[in-house]
A and B are shown apart, each in its own frame.
Chain A
Amino acid sequence: MTVNGTAHDHDVEPRTLLVQYLREACGLTGTKVGCDTSSCGACTVLVDGESVKSCTMFAAQADGASVTTIEGLADGDRWHPVQQAFHEHHGLQCGYCTAGMVMAAVSLLDEVPEPTERDVRLGLEGNLCRCTGYHNIVKAVLAAAETMRAAR
């Protein structure tokens, strides 16, 4: 599979989960395991541009796909607008949910480029945050949408 634009080729056991593959075979530990039961979204990555919970997918299912993790978002040393907005609007506290939250937001903004606050709240329903109360996360995603709209 291609991960963040780089081809990766490993033989893995069929039961290897995508998140394990990314963290252990590719060494990309930005993607976190939170609940390990498909609920929290901390493990969210993009597979062919769409958000998925990488704890609930086998690496073999992503064979040949293009996977993007948090490490692959920035353009050199320029952050992705969603990363920038999380920074500016303080969309995180402990940061554990953040990689998944950012990836889910990137996928959401791809599907709904001009979201309302409700669209953002519903669009991130698969991602849990124990710290922020979501307020600043929603603010950050709306701000990122605005930045991306202005750039189009």
Chain B
Amino acid sequence: MSTPEASTTKKVQVRRYKPEENPKEHYLNAEKGVWAWMTTIDHKKIGLLYLGSITFFFFVGGMLALLLRTELLTPAQSFIDADVYNQVFTLHGAIMIFFFLVPSVPAALGNFILPLQLGAKDVAFPRLNLASFYIYTIGTIFTLIAIFTGGIDTGWTFYTPYSTQTGTNVLLMTFGIFILGFSSILTGVNFIVTIHKLRAPGLTWNKLPLNVWALYATSIIQVLATPVLAITLLLLVMERALGIGVFDPSIGGDPVLFQHFFWFYSHPAVYIMIVPGFGVISEVISTFSRKVIFGYWAIALSSLAIAFIGFLVWGHHMFVAGQSSLASMVFSFLTFLVGIPTGIKIFNWLATMYKGSIDMKAPMLYAMVFLFLFTIGGFTGIMLGSLAVDIHLHDTYYVVAHFHYVMMGGMVMALLAGLHYWWPKMFGKMYSEFFARISCVIIFIGFNLAFLPQFVMGSQGMPRRYFNYIDQYQAFHQLSTIGAYIMAVGFVIMAGYMIHSLLRGKPASANPWGSRAMEWQTSSPAPHHNFEHIPVIINGPYDYHKPMSEFQLGIAHSTNGHQSFEKVDVNVKSAEEKA
């Protein structure tokens, strides 16, 4: 702001900028060639690079899951042996969590959408953003080398002392994830600064889209938790390389200390995975209900509350690891507390839909699936958080089912909602609504068939991570496997119509959903620098009772001589804080 610091509000001349339909020039064709893609500092393209990577890893992790489920069709060995099985489930977990879930919404969707939602030209540090993508790539290369040089069979949690003693290549794998962590940290730093410093004129904190609030909370967790994972993995690497004796009991270390360190990161990490999903759901529900979001501040602040409480509950993973019973009681109580902000969100979303004009387009359908599955995942989490019940359910399929309901039923559904929602903005193409709904329903059915039986067999005592099992669980395992296959069919259909959309999809309009949010007030696909003007915000992002024209304002240049546009003066709060 060139005005003196003293005044926080000032007058700017604005006019309406209608987004151009089907622009000839946009970010996808602004630079050409593979090299331009690999060296791009455009946040939108970096988002797409991430999107491509996570799609690849989702495919790999998914194939591994199908392999596991197929093996589990019969109680004894079917076609892979026990050691391979251990490696496969470890890889499934590690890939899905570190290479898919953690970067999915923040790094892929977030990178693409955050500056658009802020009316900024880019993130605060575009080169750092590209660097974080390459750090991610280097991390994955280390991991791939680890897979092909001995694999890893510790489970994605790398618990000591097994991880310090097993013959598999834990060293490279953990080092790869250590590197990956820096990518996550850099994205977090970048987002926090972008949200603080790069908001368009008039975009005050109380007008931020809820997706931005969610990304803000996520970034805070990323920045605060990931370094602790980094040091933990570094200590583990040192333990294996030099035998420093911090975690390995045979040389004087304490394995429970590793669990504390690990979960201090990894519990908040599940919020890194789910909180940005909440943001997507808020956007989708409001847009497709044509209604102002109910309880804006409740949703915004509950993200921060979850981020905060999430740091205080890690001990609930150690109820049976010899933790003092007082500590367990405290952790159990704090775990229950997380349910409150989560419940607040669910109620606010339901209240937003109440008496809205709901349009069950594919993104909204995914949001509904999210609400249903995530609620089940959340409630079963509370059950696992209660001390007595956990003694029974610990390390059973019940935990597996809970985790998948939260992560796949919650996060992946939110990711799919977001992907379908922003797809037109990303590629300027529409997808087949019909097939999108079909595949959503198929995935929903397959998912429940795969994981509901796991709750039952888990509560009956089926331990997780087991290669074979006694006959009484066979029916559940087979149902679960069939469910996994059905889900796979759903994803194949999705891949089909998405590819079709890319190749010969109908061109999308700038704002196909009639949303009031800022990212829809520019053309599809977005221009190279997001907006051809400097957007000015005077309304909240969900003010559906106000006319569209009030959402398309930008600073009117006094020199361009176009008198045909009506110019108005508006007062905007300085978006830039004078710190």
A interacts with B = no
B contact set with A: CB distance below 8 Å: none
Residues of A within 8 A of B (CB): none
